[in-house]
Chain A
Amino acid sequence: MTDLTRLSAAALSEKLQAGEVSSVEVTRAHLDRIAAVDGDVHAFLHVSSAALDTAQAVDDKRAAGEKLGPLAGVPIAIKDVLCTMDMPSTAGSRMLEGWVPPYDATVVRKLREADLVPLGKTNMDEFAMGSSTEHSAYGPTRNPWDLERIPGGSGGGSAAAVAAFEAPLALGSDTGGSIRQPAAVTGSVGVKPTYGGVSRYGAIALASSLDQVGPVTRTVLDAALLHDVIGGHDPRDSTSLRDEWPSFATAAREGAASKSLAGVRVGVVKELNGDGFQAGVHSRFAESLELMASAGAEIVEVSAPSFEYAINAYYLILPAEASSNLAKFDSVRFGLRVTPESGGTVEDVMAATRAAGFGDEVKRRVILGTYALSAGYYDAYYGSAQKVRTLIQRDFAAAFEQADVLVSPAAPTTAFKLGEKLDDPLAMYLNDITTIPANLAGVPGMGLPMGLAPEDGLPTGIQFMAPAREDVRLYRVGSALEALLEDKWGHTLISRAPDLSLGEEFAAMEGAV
């Protein structure tokens, strides 16, 4: 019998609709896979005890002839930054250990309404601050391609869950690359939608002007199908756009079927293809450009001089907004409370709670943000960073006059070793150098696999960016390149990932487990 965990969400959807498999069978296969490999991968912080019941309810609806959405009965993993009424939502922090929210995030409500089956909550850097998941209070997630390496961050749990075949779909959140960079280093697909395209209501806020929720999958079509479910206006998010969005799944299917990029102007961002990128990232990127050119794309070089300052502006704007957003963790309304031995006022309790509940990276960024916003420094730091944001938007506007989509590598290197950059915050921050500009300008971005680096055999990713509100271009162009690459390779990239369960079985035979 087919291993159901190896199938895409689109393929599972067909089988479910044809009655070839039940949602219970699909869900059980993924729960079994989680049981087999998650001890090694640690993608999940919580596995739902209700998943099989939810799946049964979807099967019952189908049996009763109800009209169901395309992803009905398909399991999904949810990043722990998103509030779920039936599962703890910790955002990777001790501060919220065991906290079960009294409401669902809008995107979670939409998943339930579309009859997807939540499998559990995925690991992440604490409050989404990090590029490796090593800043999770609950221990790191490991990269399914090499368990000694990072899965990217902050959404390493969601990326590892799909890359390890523990879930066909996952939700992530992307503030500076937390969906796209993990996609790059795990050989999966991730999309940061246009700012305001997907509701942020119930997403535990990191930096409100940058955060965006989006799909994490193994194929471009699956990302499109999921984006179609979670997108659209939400009156509970005042930054939510009222646009009518086209079907992203239709765009993805068209792109994959045509395998053509005729007439598409692809802009290579000069500043995002420079020194400091790993050799294998360079070479795979060059090959992808050649492949796109051979499919009819017009490759042009564009310059975005202000992108050089994006990371500097980002590490002022993000900490400033985070220091304000995280003020709600005050030991009063939810989460941890630590009372000093000597007792003390509510402010003493607050300070003791935040000392015990926040990890090092969170403390670092909250203090940095407090500094950037303090009187006398505000104009020089936060104010100047906001000006850089204007310059970056202008660079995007100029670039999109010359190109329909922009491209760059989705991450400067392949996955690095756990611990390698943990003691050097600035080096860790540089992992997001290619992804941050899109967040500062609010434009959509997609990361997808572009091959294995010859030097280490690990996945590399390409990033597409489109003008704000033109997410549909990412799906059309991304699915075309995905189809062209898979034709060239003769297989999907993710099919080359090591079979984690083999290790387990061999160990079992040896009597080690």
Chain B
Amino acid sequence: MSSSSTEQLTTDQVAHLASLARIALTPDEITKLTGELGVIIDSVARVNEVASADVPATSHPIPLSNVFRADVPGETLTTEQALSGAPDHDGSRFRVSAILGEEQ
């Protein structure tokens, strides 16, 4: 039943996933992870053995609906507090390096 056994995870896929997840992995890490994740995915794919079409999905253990609060300003962080843990800021804004690269 396992769909993944016919479809092995490749190093190219792991490299692509790492770029999507914004983690700069080394080639060694990619190779190691490809093996480890392959074993894990083979195991977790077992969920397909019982997850038939007639079973509804559960996203939340104890469903709540319409969780609202009054539309009034609450207690919020001051600018100083919000910036207190930032690696870099100009006193009122977070400072980052260029958003676009040269090729963009």
Closest to A339 in B: B97
Of the four ranges (under 10, 10 to 19, 20 to 34, 35 or more), the interface on chain A belongs to: 35 or more
In the bound assembly, the distance between CA atoms of A339 and B95 in angstroms comes to 13
Interface string of B87-99 (1 = CB under 8 A from A): 1100000101111
B61 within 8 A of A: yes
B47 touches A336 (CB 8 A): no
In the bound assembly, the distance between CA atoms of A189 and B3 in angstroms comes to 41
Instruction: List A316-359 residues whose CB lies under 8 Å from chain B.
Output: 316, 323, 327, 330-337, 339-340, 343-352, 354-355, 358
B62 touches A336 (CB 8 A): no
Closest to B25 in A: A355
A315 touches B96 (CB 8 A): no
In the bound assembly, the distance between CA atoms of A334 and B87 in angstroms comes to 6
B86 touches A333 (CB 8 A): yes
A330: chain B residues at CB < 8 Å are 22
B47 touches A195 (CB 8 A): no
Which of A102, A335, A367 touches B18 (beta carbons < 8 Å)? A367
Q: Taking the nearest CB of chain A, how far is it from the CB of B7, in angstroms?
A: 10
Q: Taking the nearest CB of chain B, how far is it from the CB of A92, in angstroms?
A: 17
A316 touches B44 (CB 8 A): yes
B69: chain A residues at CB < 8 Å are 235
A63 within 8 A of B: no
In the bound assembly, the distance between CA atoms of A330 and B85 in angstroms comes to 13
B46 touches A312 (CB 8 A): yes
A331: chain B residues at CB < 8 Å are 87, 96
B55: chain A residues at CB < 8 Å are 387, 390-391
B41: chain A residues at CB < 8 Å are 368, 371
Q: Taking the nearest CB of chain A, how far is it from the CB of B86, in angstroms?
A: 6
Q: Which of A152-160, A376-384, A446-454 contacts B (4 or more CB under 8 A)?
A: A376-384
B51 touches A388 (CB 8 A): yes
Which of A316, A351, A371, A374 touches B47 (beta carbons < 8 Å)? A316
A312 touches B58 (CB 8 A): no
A195 touches B96 (CB 8 A): no
Q: Taking the nearest CB of chain B, how far is it from the CB of A334, in angstroms?
A: 4
B20 touches A99 (CB 8 A): no
With A238-B67, A332-B86, A333-B94 already in contact, the answer to whether A312 and B44 are too (CB < 8 A) is yes
B19: chain A residues at CB < 8 Å are 351
In the bound assembly, the distance between CA atoms of A354 and B17 in angstroms comes to 14
B101 touches A350 (CB 8 A): no
Closest to A337 in B: B87
Which of A241, A346, A355 touches B99 (beta carbons < 8 Å)? A346
In the bound assembly, the distance between CA atoms of A228 and B57 in angstroms comes to 33
Q: Taking the nearest CB of chain B, how far is it from the CB of A212, in angstroms?
A: 9
A389 within 8 A of B: yes
A440 within 8 A of B: yes
B99: chain A residues at CB < 8 Å are 345-346
B101 touches A345 (CB 8 A): yes
With A309-B50, A331-B87, A388-B51 already in contact, the answer to whether A426 and B57 are too (CB < 8 A) is no
Q: Taking the nearest CB of chain B, how far is it from the CB of A338, in angstroms?
A: 9
Which of A194, A306, A374 touches B20 (beta carbons < 8 Å)? A374
Instruction: Report which residue of B17, B25, B61, B86 has the largest number of chain A beta carbons within 10 angstroms of its beta carbon.
Output: B61
B72 within 8 A of A: no
In the bound assembly, the distance between CA atoms of A209 and B64 in angstroms comes to 12
Q: Taking the nearest CB of chain A, how far is it from the CB of B8, in angstroms?
A: 13
B88: chain A residues at CB < 8 Å are 337
A239: chain B residues at CB < 8 Å are 60, 62, 64, 67
A203: chain B residues at CB < 8 Å are none
B13: chain A residues at CB < 8 Å are 371
B59 within 8 A of A: yes
Which of A194, A235, A346 touches B62 (beta carbons < 8 Å)? A194
Q: Taking the nearest CB of chain B, how far is it from the CB of A512, in angstroms?
A: 40
A370 within 8 A of B: yes
In the bound assembly, the distance between CA atoms of A484 and B56 in angstroms comes to 43
A370 touches B47 (CB 8 A): no
A334 touches B85 (CB 8 A): yes
In the bound assembly, the distance between CA atoms of A332 and B97 in angstroms comes to 10
A196 within 8 A of B: yes
A388 touches B61 (CB 8 A): no
A425 touches B36 (CB 8 A): yes
Q: Taking the nearest CB of chain A, how far is it from the CB of B74, in angstroms?
A: 9
A101 within 8 A of B: yes
B23 touches A238 (CB 8 A): no
Interface pairs (16), CB distance under 8 Å: A195-B61, A238-B64, A238-B67, A334-B87, A346-B96, A354-B23, A363-B25, A364-B40, A368-B37, A368-B41, A371-B13, A381-B44, A387-B52, A390-B58, A425-B36, A426-B43
Residues of B within 8 A of A (CB): 3, 9, 13-14, 17-26, 29, 33, 36-37, 39-41, 43-52, 55-62, 64, 67, 69, 77, 81-82, 84-88, 94, 96-101
Not counting A327-B22, A374-B17, a sample of 14 additional A-B residue pairs whose C-beta atoms are within 8 angstroms of each other reads: A196-B62, A312-B44, A346-B99, A354-B23, A354-B24, A355-B23, A355-B26, A363-B23, A363-B29, A366-B23, A380-B48, A381-B47, A387-B58, A391-B50
- Name the 4 nearest CB pairs between A and B, nearest first: A442-B61, A334-B85, A337-B87, A384-B51
